[in-house]
Amino acid sequence: MFHFLSVVQEGVVGMEGNVADYLANFGKAVGAGLTVVGAGIGIGWIGSRMTESMARQPEVLANIQTAAIILAALIEGVALFSLVIAFLI
Protein backbone atom coordinates (compact mmCIF):
# COMPACT_ATOMS: atom_id res chain seq x y z
CA MET A 1 0.00 0.00 0.00
CA PHE A 2 2.79 2.42 0.86
CA HIS A 3 5.23 1.48 -1.90
CA PHE A 4 6.23 5.10 -2.45
CA LEU A 5 7.90 5.17 0.97
CA SER A 6 10.57 2.72 -0.17
CA VAL A 7 11.34 5.00 -3.11
CA VAL A 8 11.63 7.99 -0.78
CA GLN A 9 13.87 6.03 1.58
CA GLU A 10 16.20 5.01 -1.26
CA GLY A 11 16.40 8.62 -2.41
CA VAL A 12 17.16 9.90 1.07
CA VAL A 13 19.85 7.30 1.76
CA GLY A 14 21.73 8.29 -1.39
CA MET A 15 21.78 11.99 -0.47
CA GLU A 16 24.53 13.63 1.49
CA GLY A 17 23.61 15.80 4.41
CA ASN A 18 21.21 15.55 7.27
CA VAL A 19 18.57 12.89 6.63
CA ALA A 20 16.22 14.51 9.12
CA ASP A 21 16.07 17.65 6.97
CA TYR A 22 15.03 15.65 3.93
CA LEU A 23 12.39 13.76 5.86
CA ALA A 24 11.11 17.01 7.37
CA ASN A 25 10.72 18.47 3.89
CA PHE A 26 8.89 15.33 2.80
CA GLY A 27 6.57 15.69 5.80
CA LYS A 28 5.90 19.32 4.89
CA ALA A 29 5.00 18.29 1.35
CA VAL A 30 2.65 15.56 2.55
CA GLY A 31 1.03 17.95 5.06
CA ALA A 32 0.53 20.61 2.41
CA GLY A 33 -0.93 18.09 -0.01
CA LEU A 34 -3.38 16.71 2.52
CA THR A 35 -4.43 20.24 3.45
CA VAL A 36 -5.20 21.15 -0.15
CA VAL A 37 -7.07 17.91 -0.78
CA GLY A 38 -9.11 18.31 2.40
CA ALA A 39 -10.04 21.90 1.57
CA GLY A 40 -11.01 20.90 -1.96
CA ILE A 41 -13.25 18.12 -0.70
CA GLY A 42 -14.88 20.44 1.84
CA ILE A 43 -15.59 23.23 -0.61
CA GLY A 44 -16.82 20.77 -3.23
CA TRP A 45 -19.18 19.23 -0.68
CA ILE A 46 -20.53 22.66 0.23
CA GLY A 47 -21.04 23.52 -3.44
CA SER A 48 -22.92 20.33 -4.19
CA ARG A 49 -25.16 20.67 -1.13
CA MET A 50 -25.78 24.34 -1.92
CA THR A 51 -26.87 23.51 -5.46
CA GLU A 52 -29.13 20.73 -4.21
CA SER A 53 -30.70 23.03 -1.60
CA MET A 54 -31.31 25.81 -4.10
CA ALA A 55 -32.99 23.35 -6.46
CA ARG A 56 -35.32 22.16 -3.71
CA GLN A 57 -36.19 25.59 -2.27
CA PRO A 58 -35.50 28.42 -4.72
CA GLU A 59 -37.24 30.96 -2.49
CA VAL A 60 -34.39 30.90 0.07
CA LEU A 61 -31.63 31.26 -2.53
CA ALA A 62 -30.01 34.33 -0.95
CA ASN A 63 -29.80 32.76 2.51
CA ILE A 64 -28.29 29.56 1.15
CA GLN A 65 -25.69 31.44 -0.92
CA THR A 66 -24.68 33.60 2.03
CA ALA A 67 -24.25 30.61 4.31
CA ALA A 68 -22.30 28.70 1.66
CA ILE A 69 -19.90 31.60 1.07
CA ILE A 70 -19.30 31.97 4.81
CA LEU A 71 -18.64 28.23 5.19
CA ALA A 72 -16.28 28.19 2.19
CA ALA A 73 -14.35 31.13 3.65
CA LEU A 74 -14.04 29.32 6.99
CA ILE A 75 -12.75 26.18 5.27
CA GLU A 76 -10.19 28.21 3.33
CA GLY A 77 -9.09 29.92 6.54
CA VAL A 78 -8.56 26.61 8.29
CA ALA A 79 -6.74 25.26 5.23
CA LEU A 80 -4.42 28.26 5.16
CA PHE A 81 -3.73 27.90 8.88
CA SER A 82 -2.98 24.18 8.43
CA LEU A 83 -0.68 24.93 5.50
CA VAL A 84 1.30 27.45 7.55
CA ILE A 85 1.59 24.97 10.42
CA ALA A 86 2.76 22.23 8.01
CA PHE A 87 5.53 24.49 6.72
CA LEU A 88 6.57 25.64 10.21
CA ILE A 89 7.04 22.12 11.58
Rounded-to-integer distance, Cα 50 and Cα 63, Å: 10
- The residues near 78 (Cβ < 8 Å, ≥ 6 apart) are 39
Rounded-to-integer distance, Cα 82 and Cα 36, Å: 9
Q: What is the pLDDT of residues 14-64, one digit of tens each?
A: 556 677 777 888 888 888 888 889 999 999 999 999 999 999 998 999 999
Beta carbons of 12 and 74 less than 8 angstroms apart: no
Rounded-to-integer distance, Cα 58 and Cα 19, Å: 57
* Pairwise pLDDT comparison (47 vs 89), residue with the higher score: 47
Beta carbons of 68 and 50 less than 8 angstroms apart: yes
* Mean pLDDT calculated for residue range 55-83: 91
